[in-house]
Amino acid sequence: MNTPNNKIAIPRDLGRRNFLNKTAIAGLAGAGLSAGLVACNKTAGPAATGSPAVAASEPAKSGAVDYSAYEVHPGQLDTYYSFSSGGHSGEVRIYGLPSGRLFKRIPVFNIDCLVGWGITNESKKIMGTNADGSLKYFTGDTHHVHPSYTDGTYNGKHLFVNDKIHGRIARVRLDTMECDKITELPNVQGFHGIFPDKRDPVDEKINYTTRVFCGNEFHIPQPNDGRDLNDPTKYFCLFTCIDAETLEPRWQVKVDGNMDLVATSYDGKLACSNQYNMENGAHYEDMMSLERDSCIFFNIARIEAAVKAGKTFFIGKSKVPVVDGTKSANADPKTALTCYVPTPKNPHGVNASPDGKYYACSGKLSPTATLIEHALVLKWFDGELKEPRDTVVAEPEIGLGPLHTGFDNKGNAYTTLFLDSQIVKWNLEAAIKSFKGDKAAKPVVDRIDVQYQPGHGFTSMGETKNADGKFFLSDNKFSKDRFLPVGPLHPETAQLIDISGDKMKLVADHSVYSEPHDSIIIPRELIRTRQVYDINEFPNAVKDAKECRVERKGKKVTVYLTSQAPTFGLREWTVKKGDEVTIILTNLDKVEDLTHGFAIPNYNINFIVNPQETKSVTFKADKPGVYWCYCTNFCHALHLEMRSRMLVEA
Ligand code: CUK
Ligand code: CUA
Ligand code: CA
């Protein structure tokens, strides 16, 4: 394991895992705690400088894996889609698996000049604008992507994604793979976890997603208007329920502590979130003083009854009703809206098992995963259990820095170990037996090294009742020496692991642009896309090249334009300096894949129109002169000739 690229000696007999453990423990014990949490041994030395043309540090043990079995040959299609968050790029990405080929980047909270997201009037309207028409926000941080459900599996309708920075939720249509709605959550800073419900808690007939639940990580004064600035004991967090159809907030719950990731039950009754800052600390050391924080459970039917009964309050200017879910207000389990299950220590990640029976909550600073039984949480709400902690049915020791868990279809869990830089496979039944005192039961059944330090990990269909036990993808936080060096910002590694056998097999390294957090893996059969728009979807469509014209109302000028390879509907048009110009462009081409672009030099205008699509832009013609408006998207043998002139009179 010691290559020229890795100058730190790791004695073979000590083993990589032990070495990592000791580094991590040393880091945790001393003042270098934060270093211990981020540093893998390989960052410390010259290894990180990326000398070119050296072999990766951990060549696969030859002969162990037949990689050709996972190849996707030219002309072949992948069997899975992977939808991935793009972290602080603010976008969502679509990959094919097993190939790891990148198909599409869906701009959501970011500006994207390829498609014109944040540039066209239509996208600006979705993103939200200030009174002067400028974008309210143009940055985002997408962490979690989860599709809508019907009957416990994906229905191919929508994908929901969060923006941690500005507390927004976005929806992506899965037929066009474009964002169609964005909502800002009131009084929420650091919106982290997100999860759609899988059925209605009361109405048996509703077996599909109608709500999306949102966790809130950063506690703030409420309302955050300058009061209680430096008194964190007065800050609090809100759990938000969003209507999946309108994307409007339905209600919020005030909680103790913070919330991180979110999971929902298969019967629709519960949503839950791991909480790492029950201390309400404002500094990291304050956030680690408790041995146990918690995993909070929300009784959805009771919360909605309380909202209906008007047992609510409002915060600041927000009209969204808030109920009190704090511990002190929910002491009686029989009427409680929330249940705080104590879990060690600064937990990260909570995931529901495909059989609907359990939630696995990772310890992060504890080497354990806590397994909570769904039926027991319901029992607690019925007053039949003494303590919330009685809902815990297992707490196996699985390794250092456990974060996220995926499941297969054979009762096994796969948890990412950030500090150990491994994926650990553990068996739920064995963990439960061991917790009951069965010394023969061994929860951990396999481990595999990943390169390096995984954050999220997820299994194919593992968040549905149809988990298929085929693949696990490890979204790692560091790639170090796995790819050709590309300067200080490394790509990340997404490593594909075959989990169909007893032993996990690493079958591919995929490079991914920073920084995916969460992804989901869906068989291609569940996705049905549209390849061409219907021109009638766009009320402002210019349906015929003969309709192209310029209309003036005072200083407002509207240019009606079409594109049809290799021409635009107007060869030239004239406006006056100071005019507010709106260009409406319809792509009349009906052929699949025939997209045109439209750019205006010096005016910062650049967007595309897909077949039969209409988009518009508005700008001030403040620079007299001749401007060649040209097609940016290669469309035809005469693509370069596809241009027209905007003449701006002085
Ligand atoms: S958090 Cu990123 S690795 Cu946002 Cu899902 Cu755990
Ligand atoms: Cu139209 Cu290039
Ligand atoms: Ca804590």
Q: What b/e string do you get for 577-609 counting C-beta neighbours within 10 Å, with b at 16 or more? A: eebbbbbbbbbbbeeeebbbbbbbeebebbbbb
The per-residue pLDDT for 543 is 98
Q: Cis omega before residue 201 (within 30°)?
A: no
Rg of the chain on CA atoms, in Å: 27
Of the bound ligands, which one is closest to the alpha carbon of residue 285? 3
The answer to whether 478 touches 452, Cβ cutoff 8 Å, is: yes
Using the atom order of ligand 1, give the atom closest to the CA of residue 517.
Answer: 2
Of the bound ligands, which one is closest to the alpha carbon of residue 363? 3
Task: Report, as an integer, the average pLDDT of 493-518.
Answer: 96
The answer to whether 134 touches 118, Cβ cutoff 8 Å, is: no
Given ligand 1 and candidates 163, 365, 404, 478, which is best to mutate, with the most ligand atoms within 8 Å of its CB?
A: 404
Of the candidates 156, 208, 195, 97, the residue with the CA atom closest to the CA atom of residue 460: 97
Distance 277 CA to ligand 3 centre (A): 4
Using the atom order of ligand 2, give the atom closest to the CA of residue 632.
Answer: 2
The per-residue pLDDT for 64 is 74
Ligand 1 contact, 261 CB (< 6 A): yes
Of the bound ligands, which one is closest to the alpha carbon of residue 343? 3
The set of protein residues with a Cβ atom below 6 angstroms from ligand 2 is: 565, 596, 631, 633-636, 639, 642
Task: Report, as an integer, the average pLDDT of 487-510.
Answer: 97
Ligand 1 contact, 146 CB (< 6 A): no
Is 134's pLDDT higher than 70? yes
Give the C-alpha distances (Å, rounded to integers) separating 396 from 293, 400, 415, 444.
Answer: 17, 12, 12, 8
Q: Residue with the nearest Cα to atom 1 of ligand 2?
A: 596
pLDDT 10s digits, 181-211:
999 999 999 999 999 999 999 999 999 999 9
Using the atom order of ligand 1, give the atom closest to the CA of residue 164.
Answer: 4
pLDDT 10s digits, 540-552:
999 999 999 999 9
Mean pLDDT score across all residues of the chain: 92
pLDDT 10s digits, 584-614:
999 999 999 999 999 999 999 999 999 999 9
* Residue located via tokens 């927000």: 318
Distance 218 CA to ligand 3 centre (A): 13
Task: Report, as an integer, the average pLDDT of 206-219.
Answer: 98
Ligand 1 contact, 143 CB (< 6 A): yes
308 CB neighbour count, 10 Å cutoff: 11
Using the atom order of ligand 1, give the atom closest to the CA of residue 348.
Answer: 6
Of the bound ligands, which one is closest to the alpha carbon of residue 142? 1
The per-residue pLDDT for 27 is 41
Evaluate whether ipTM surpasses 0.90.
yes
The answer to whether 5 touches 54, Cβ cutoff 8 Å, is: yes
Task: Report, as an integer, the average pLDDT of 104-123.
Answer: 98
pLDDT 10s digits, 432-490:
999 999 999 999 999 999 999 999 999 999 999 999 999 999 999 999 999 999 999 99
Is 4's pLDDT higher than 90? no
Ligand 1 contact, 518 CB (< 6 A): yes
pLDDT 10s digits, 408-426:
999 999 999 999 999 999 9
Distance 596 CA to ligand 2 centre (A): 4
Using the atom order of ligand 2, give the atom closest to the CA of residue 633.
Answer: 2
The per-residue pLDDT for 289 is 95
Is 34's pLDDT higher than 90? no
Using the atom order of ligand 1, give the atom closest to the CA of residue 143.
Answer: 4
The per-residue pLDDT for 63 is 54
Share of the chain above pLDDT 70, in %: 90
The per-residue pLDDT for 466 is 98
Of the bound ligands, which one is closest to the alpha carbon of residue 273? 1
Task: Report, as an integer, the average pLDDT of 353-374.
Answer: 98
31 CB neighbour count, 10 Å cutoff: 8
Of the bound ligands, which one is closest to the alpha carbon of residue 634? 2
Distance 420 CA to ligand 1 centre (A): 17
Distance 19 CA to ligand 3 centre (A): 27
Is 627's pLDDT higher than 80? yes
Distance 192 CA to ligand 1 centre (A): 8
Distance 628 CA to ligand 2 centre (A): 13
The per-residue pLDDT for 52 is 36
The per-residue pLDDT for 564 is 97
Distance 92 CA to ligand 3 centre (A): 30
Q: Give residue 7's identity as a one-letter amino acid code.
A: K
The per-residue pLDDT for 318 is 98
Task: Report, as an integer, the average pLDDT of 327-332.
Answer: 97
The per-residue pLDDT for 404 is 98
Using the atom order of ligand 1, give the atom closest to the CA of residue 404.
Answer: 6
The per-residue pLDDT for 18 is 44
The answer to whether 614 touches 589, Cβ cutoff 8 Å, is: no
Domains of the chain, CATH where assigned: 535-649 (2.60.40.420)
pLDDT 10s digits, 38-89:
444 443 333 333 333 334 444 445 557 999 999 999 999 999 999 999 999 9
Provide CB contacts within 8 A for 419, sequence distance 6+: 20, 21, 24, 36, 37, 399, 400, 401, 453
pLDDT 10s digits, 227-251:
999 999 899 999 999 999 999 999 9
